[in-house]
Every structure is written in C-alpha cells, then in structure tokens.
Amino acid sequence: MLVGLEVEHNDGPWTRPDDYRRVNGLVRYTAGDAVNGFSITGMGYRATWDSSDQVPQRAIDSVLIVRFGTIDASDGGDTYRYSGSLEWQRSRRNSSTKVVAYGFGYDLNLYSNFTFFLDDAERGDQFHQADHRLVSGAKVTHTRIGRFADREMRNTVGLQVRSDDIAKVGLYHTQARDLIDTVRQDDVLQTSLSGYAQNETSWAPKVRTLAGLRVDGYRFRVASDYQVNSGTVRAGIVSPKGGVVLGPFRGTELYANIGLGFHSNDARGATITRDPSTGGAADPVTPLVRAQGAEVGVRTVAVPHLQTTLTIWSLLLASELLFVGDAGTTEAGRPSHRYGFELANYYAPRPWLTLDADASWSSSHFTDSDPAGDHIPGSVQAVISGGATVQDLRHLFGSVRLRYFGPRPLIEDGSIRSKATSLLNAEIGYQVTNSVKLLLDVFNCLNGKGSDIDYYYASRLPGEPPGGVDDIHLHPTIPRTARVSLIVGF
C-alpha cells in the first residue's frame, strides 16, 4: 500500500500574490509484481490561484507597472481532478497481457484578460473559460514472442477506447469574475476507438525491423447554445509506421523510423457554422489532420562511461487547427514543416558524479504561400541544457543545471522576435538519516531577466487609442529565489 499527500501554498514574487493553494493525494494498492500482478490507484488534485498573466512590455517601460506587476488583478481560477485506475498484467513464457481501465472527473474555471480594454472599453475584456467533464477509458495489450522462418519475432496487438462526456464547456465575458454575458456554451460527447498491431522481427544478429499499423475512429457530438453550431461528426484515420535498427557494432546502433500520424482538434470546430462572437459564417474544419514524421539516428556507448544519442528528424503537418479560447471560434492553421536534430550526452566518470549535456536545433516554417510570411510564431530554434549531479558523497547530494532557450519569431514575417532566455538552477542537500533529508534549492541563480512566454498582438490600456497598440506581451521568469525543504520519509 502506498499513500501520499502533498500540500502547497505559494505567493510567488508578484506584486499581487498568486495565493496558489494546491492539495495532491495518492492511494495505491499493489499485489504481485510488474510481470504478474495488479494495482488499484486513486488520485486527487485541487487548486486555486490568482494569476499574473502576460503583461505588455510598454506597461513595464513606462513604469505603469513593475516587472512583476499585473494589469487585471482579478485573473485566476480553480480546478480539480479526481481519478481512479486499475492495472492488471499476466505473463507466461512466450506471451503477456496487460489491461488498464481508468476514469476521472475534471473541472476548470479559468479567468483571463489578455487584451485588457480593446474590445470593451468600459468593463474590460476578461473572459471565463469553463470545462466540466467525466472521462472513462480502457486499454488492452497482448504481446506474443515466437519464431517465423527461424527468426525471432515479437507481435503486439492492442485496443483502446475512451469517452469524454463534457457536460459544460463554455466561454463567458466577465468583469472581476462576475458574469456579463455568454459567448458560447456547449455540451460535448467525444468517443474514440483505436486498434493497433506491431511486429518486431530480428532478421540477423545485427538487423531488426519494426512495422506497425494503427486505426483510429472518432465520434464528436456537440450540443451548442447556438443551435446552428450543434451536430454530430464521425472521422477515422489509418496510420502505418516502420523502422529498422542496425547493430550494435562495438557499442553503436543505427536506427531509422518513418510513419504517419494525426493531430486531433477541438470537437467544436468540426460542427461550427457561425462565429458565436460576430454571427458571421464560419467553416467547419477537419477534426483529424494528417502528420508525417521521420527520423534517423545513432546511439553509442563506445566511449567508456559515456552514452550519446544523435537524432535527425522531420515532421510535416497538413494543418495546425486551434480553438481560439478568447473568441470561441476555431481557426484552421496553415500546413507546416519542422525539421532539426537532437543531441543527448550522459557521462558518469565516477559512481557519485554524472554529467549531462543536451542540444537541439529546429527549423519551423509554414509551407504554403502567404504574404504574412512563413515563420511559425513561438517556435523555438535552439535549446541547450546541461548539468552536473552529485549523489551519495559522504551524505551530500546536489546538482546544478543550465537551460538556454534561443530567440523565437513572434509574427509570421520574423521581424519581431523574443529575446533568448537562460536559467541556472542549483540544489544541495544533506542526508541526515535514512528517512530525513535537508535540501536547499536556488532558482535563477544569476537573477536573469528572461521571459517564460512572449506573444505579439494588440492590446489596449486606459487612455490608449480604440484600436489598441501592437506590442510584445510577456510573463517574466521568477527572480533569484531560495527554498529550504525538510523531507521526511516513513
């Protein structure tokens, strides 16, 4: 039996404290082991907060607010999630079967104001997003190991089912969290059934292949308060994949994978015919959009104590469909192509010391022709991270980690870009006894003034022109912060 409870309260560095309150709970009963056994798990989560959302750069520059200030002090929200799951596994000499069943209840009330007084100069632009749903699902997987033509193979088949019964998903215009009017409110029932099969065959001591096929079927039923946006849509898609692994050759493997997938989108976009904000005509969108992916790479442990992986990848999306929460509509995004590489290194020169260094680079562009440009707003080109970890060194342990996020375009023509962000975090701890640890964490050790997020759009502050002002809107990283923890296990 495992029982866990976590309680947190955090005000953050903001001039209007976040007053973030969170409670997590976990109960798990396990019998048998991971090969032949079962477990029953119950989890609960509840949180409330006052949020400091992104603020316009001009408000900081003009000293209307400080860097950790806010424009609309009534933003925030509350949420909960309670779940239960059952996991059962039975294995025999050449086969294994695993069954997972789950269900959870989820509720979210989120109050945000990103444009301030752009749409409503008197009462402001705050909006309330509500989501209340019950989710249930199950997954069954069966794997059998055998031989075909004197070659070892592993076959896996599986079936997945899920139902999202969303009793209320809504968008409302509010002021200080008080309701002004309803933009859109819907009841949604979304069900999916998926089946898949996978074969892994060893053709030679250093050659093995993987081939798979997945079939997904979806049903979207929307009952909208705006009747013309109600309806039922069914969609299905087939996704094959394949891969090959060569090696190991003196501790080095080569691999390649290619496959088709899909991006599923908001059910409300599949049945929409009228924009709930303006009443104008709106085109429904395809709920399942094709994706094509491929990668080639190398994994090696040829150098003593060093593990290295290098992957070159490519991803094509036919469309990036998004539900625009503050407008109640769905936008069909443009087709895109992303490609890049990822390099991961893990080095353990001593039993008590590990070093890691990762780097990734990607190019992200829309593939159609549009005068606005072909950059994908918010796509990060370069990410670098690295660190050192010390464990069990005369009761001491600790780590230091650096992460770098490169500049990213904020509009399609790439003329407006965010600044790079670098964060250095560190921790040091002491194992007092087998069950007691004392820990000191320091976040943003160099006190850098970076941003967690950056967007570029128009907003309006009091006294500004009715059309608003185009500006970068940011949410700053926390300043240098220290946290002391006492951890007791029993």
The 10s digit of each residue's pLDDT in 476-489 is 999 999 999 998 87
Name the residue among 6, 165, 174 with its Cα closest to residue 77: 174
What is the C-alpha R_g of the chain?
Answer: 26
Whether the pLDDT of residue 328 is over 50: the answer is no
Query: Across residues 436-461, what is the average pLDDT?
Result: 95
DSSP alpha helix (H) spans, 188-341: 267-271
Residue 259 near residue 219 (C-beta atoms within 8 A):
no
Listed by start position, the domains of the chain span 1-125, 132-289, 334-490
- The pLDDT mean for the chain works out to 94
Residue 318 near residue 262 (C-beta atoms within 8 A):
no
Q: Which of 88-92, 129-133, 197-201, 368-372 comes out lowest in average pLDDT?
A: 368-372
Secondary structure (DSSP) of 417-448: BPPPEEEEEEEEEEE-SSSEEEEEEEESTT--
What residues contact residue 265 under an 8 Å CB cut-off, 6+ apart?
285, 286, 287, 288, 289, 321, 322, 323, 330
Task: Give the helix, strand, coil percentages of the chain, each rounded to 5.
Answer: 5, 65, 30
At residue 187, the pLDDT reads 97
At residue 325, the pLDDT reads 46
